[in-house]
Each structure stands twice: as C-alpha cells, then as structure tokens.
Structure 1
C-alpha cells in the first residue's frame, strides 16, 4: 500500500474501460487500488484470468460490488453499463466517497432527457444537480469540488473539444455536421452480431442515424458556448480496434483568415496538456493518439467552409484516461500524473 495515497475502488474491471482504467491507475504514484469488482460471473476470479496480459499485475481477486461498497475508499470509479451506477450512487455519496462515473448516468442535468434517450427513469434525479460534466478543458473549476463526475462519452469528447472554441466566438452557422468514426472497442467487450469479426472486417457502417445517444450530449454542451448551436451527428463503425476520428464540417458566417482560426484554438487551449493543435499540411491519423490521453485537432479552410479533424483514443481520452485526468484534478495532483505515455506507433 502506498503511504498517504488516495484509496480507490474500481467497479467494472471486466470491461475494456475498466481494464484500461486499472492499467493506468496501477502506476499512479498517489493512488492505491483497494478493490475491483465486476459482474457476478467474474467474482472470485483473478484479474489475470479476465485479462491475461496483466500477468503478475493481475493477481488481485475480483469481489462483488455489494461487498466492495462496504470497504473504506476515497473514490469509486464506475466503469459499468448505463443504468447500473445510479442504483449505487446515493450509497456512495452518502458515505462521503467521490464518484467518477464512466457511464451516461450523470452526464445530463435534466432527468427527463436521460429518460428519453436511455429508456428508463433516473433512479436518483436529485443527484444530477450535484454532478459535474467531466470535460476538464471546459469544466475544470467545477470538477475540483465535485461529489459526482459524469465522465463524457467518447464521441462527445472529440466533438466538443473540436467545436467549443469556435462556437464561443459566435462565427459559425448551424447546423454543423459531425462525421464520426470509431473502432469496434467502442461497443464494449460483450459480443454481439454487430461487432463480431466477420461483420466488422473490411466494412464501414453508419449506425444510430439521428438516434445515437451521444447526439443530445454533444448539443447540450455546445449550447453552453452558443445557445443556437445545432449539430447533425452521424457515427460510423470502422474495422479497427480503437480510436475515434471525427471530420466536422462548418460554414462560417463570414470569411475569416485561416491564421485567425488557428489563433482562436491556440489561445483557447494554450495551457491544456492533452490538446494538440496539429500544425501540418495533412490531417492526423488515429494512430498518433493510440494509447494516449491526447486529442489532436487539425483545421483547413476554403472560403467560408471550414473542416476540423479531431482524433482521440476512445478508451483513453474518450473514457478511462479522462476519468484519471478528472481524478487528478479532484484530488489536487498534477493533471498529467500517470497520463504521459506516448502513442503506440506504428
């Protein structure tokens, strides 16, 4: 056990986001993982039996969430499917434990919006007012004192970081078009017909057209920058394991020099360690951010037409890495702690 370390519980170790979270926090100099939990079929197994790549780092045994929540910790990460974390949130918060939720259960302030898009009434709507949307580049000050952090979705992370500075300037016509593409790990580890090898390999598939749950999440935050914001969001599944690339099409209200566009972004993100303005004649690849907590942005303008490219790793900046970034802010550590890894390239 690390001396004077923050005591951590991880719920949902059996999924991709849970395993990536565990791998990042293992090396955190100020964190001590007290327990990990997962679904009932995993209870009693060692982490290395769920994910053999952990080897000697995976000797810890998985326990049930019910028994885990009786143990003393300072913060709980819930890397669980939507609709589950809210069942345990009140118990966690009442004990003075901070909650960082990687599901969608605490991303919206309006319980009716959650019910509309996730198909169930929110079981603890009173806690939504206490929750903070965990996008540090925009809500850092609110995150510092949060009891509950709703970690953003992967697509919204890439889209909001790409668009927010521009919308703050009120120079964009609406709607903006977000053409988003994600690797298959975004669908999670549970197998389904839509994400098995033969269905995904050598193909490109749009899905959730006008029905994807990340669309209202994107618009809700963009409207904080410009109340008239409107976005058409179309996600696609591409045959790769991980990574998100979003090509975003904007129409400017009036023609502006491309240098001015870059200056808007450079000024807005000048102190942000994880946002990289990609100053190159060619757009970035998803491989450039693979395994990192970085978001790479690239812009190109012609007349009043502006194209923005945003790349993140959906499992790191789009999920677990961002959760650790929020953890660092919440407990007063350097934001980059345990998140300085370079991309796995090629």
Structure 2
C-alpha cells in the first residue's frame, strides 16, 4: 500500500514515518516539502537513518501516486490538497484543522474563509469508528480535543458543565522556533495561554454535543517544560450525584473493547511514543475528576491518523501502532 506524506518535514510527518516503518502493508513512497526538495529525509529526521532512503520532493498534486495520503500541513493548506487527491481516488487523512468543524464554525474559529469545504468523519475512532470504517476521507482531531473528549465521553450525557484543564509539551507548538518555545522561557516554568479562546474549544463542544450532552464547556491550556504529552484534567459537574463505584464501572464498560484506552493512573512517560490514552476517575458525588494522558504527537496526531487509515482500509486497527510507552 503506497503512502504519501504531504508536509513530511515537521514533527507529525516524522512520527508518521517512524510508526509506518512497523506497518505490515504500508510503504512510504513520497514525502513532500517545498523548502527541502532533494534533501535526504534522515538529514531532517535523524532518528530515521537506516529506515528510509527517501529524499524530500515537491511534486505537483497530479503527480502524486499513492493509495493513501496524509496531510501533515497547517490549516488552510490542507483544503488546497484534499479535494484534488480524493478526485484521483487517493484516500486522505487530514491532520490539519480544515475539515474538523462545520464551515461556519471553522471560519469563525480560525478567522479565514474555507475555499473547498465538504463534510468528513471526525476521527476519534473510540467515538466515531463506524463513520471511519471504509471512509475515503477522515479529518484527524486536534490533540487537545482527543485527550479531553476521551476523558469525559462516558459521563458527557450526565453532565451540565465540563471544564478542561490541559498541560501540554512544547512539541505541540510545532518545529518552528519562537519566543514561546525558547528554552529559557519554557524550562523550569509553566504558563497558561489562550485562557478562554483556544481554537480547539470548538471541537470539544462539538464532541460533547455528539455524545448527547448539552453541557457548558470551558478549556484552558498550559505549556509545561516537556517535549511530548498532554495531561488533561476534566472537571465534570453532574446533574445527579454518582458514587465512585458507579463511575468506575461506567468507564470500564464504555472502554472495555478499546485497545488504545487504558484505565490506569495517567502518566506522560507511560504513554510517550505510544498511541495509548490512559485514564483515571475520582468522584466526589456531584463532581467527577477525570484525568487523561496522551502523547500529543501520536494519539494526538500521527498515531491516531494511522489508526484511522487502518479503519479506512479494512486493516487491523493496531497495525503499525503496537508500541508501549517509553517509561522512564
């Protein structure tokens, strides 16, 4: 199965290649970068030396020959690729934000017009598996909404308010240096940002609604001095009190068939490099605290994208993703 990665020079592109090395049928045949065309991949992704002999290339869209294309490009860029690739019979997984939201909500959240909108399954497989199976196109969710939604999903329809507080690693900002990610500003520090206006809030609200919840939803992220991972604390305020045993049973039953969701104390180190989401819950009656941990580059991006590709292509869902976390 021939794979093209559009925008392969960033962290998500590197993770896609790292994970697909272990896939039973996927073969990355095209890795694009406008700026780095002709450069060997392993000069940018040294962790891949010995695993790939590809060079970056910058082909025209009509020249891309693949069965599946991953769009690891910024928002607004994906909409220039998706429709054209699909029209040529190439299945597409979009890691950008361009197709995660209805057109009018996207344009409001991102402040740009959408020039090639069409609806797409929202690819959290644990919530939307039926929509992803056999699909030609899937929109991969944001990293924050993945961890947050999985933390709250079993209780969503019982809640009147959900408050998400997330701690995220620096790789979530991408590989372009900035004052925000400069080591002296990040190391030995913690900082909240976009306290009430993060773009991913729209996805979180959308998913609560999909889960049958009319709950109010709030979200504040914090940058912490780690490379990878998102630890999300969800404060779930219930319409009626629920004791600890009932909450635990609800979560265990909800995720009993989900290989990539583990019911245990969350730790960023335990999920680092893996596609797992670890969750724990504690009830005080009318408030339940649910905590989740994911690797923002794997379950929050490239790993979940491969999970979606497997569903789209009728493959084993865990193919290419059988990696435990890297503790310590």
Query: TM-score over 0.5 for the alignment?
Result: yes
How far apart, CA to CA, are the structure 1 residues paired with 2:31 and 2:281?
Answer: 41
How big is the shift at 1:79? 0.6
5+ long unaligned stretches in structure 1: 1-5
2:10 maps to 1:15:
yes
2:114 maps to 1:116:
no
How big is the shift at 1:24? 0.6
1:202 to 168, 173, 188: 188
How big is the shift at 1:69? 4.3
Q: How does 1:1-346 map to 2 (within 5 A)?
A: 6-38=1-33, 40-66=34-60, 69-108=62-101, 110-125=102-117, 127=118, 129=119, 131-167=120-156, 170-174=157-161, 176-278=162-264, 283-346=265-328
Kindly provide the CA deviation profile for residues 99-152 of structure 1, in whole angstroms up to 9, marking residues without a partner as x: 1000001111x2111111112111112x2x2x1101100111110132221100
Q: Is contact 2:190–2:223 with CA below 8 Å preserved after alignment?
A: yes
Q: Is contact 1:247–1:307 with CA below 8 Å preserved after alignment?
A: yes
How far apart, CA to CA, are the structure 1 residues paired with 2:116 and 2:198?
Answer: 23
Q: What is the TM-score normalised by the length of structure 2?
A: 0.97
Q: Is contact 1:8–1:75 with CA below 8 Å preserved after alignment?
A: yes
Count of residue pairs the alignment pairs up: 328
How far apart, CA to CA, are the structure 2 residues paired with 1:251 and 1:107?
Answer: 26
Q: Is contact 1:11–1:65 with CA below 8 Å preserved after alignment?
A: no
How big is the shift at 1:188? 0.3
Q: What is the TM-score normalised by the length of structure 1?
A: 0.92
CA RMSD of aligned residues (A): 1.2
Q: Is contact 2:243–2:284 with CA below 8 Å preserved after alignment?
A: no
How far apart, CA to CA, are the structure 2 residues paired with 1:308 and 1:259?
Answer: 14
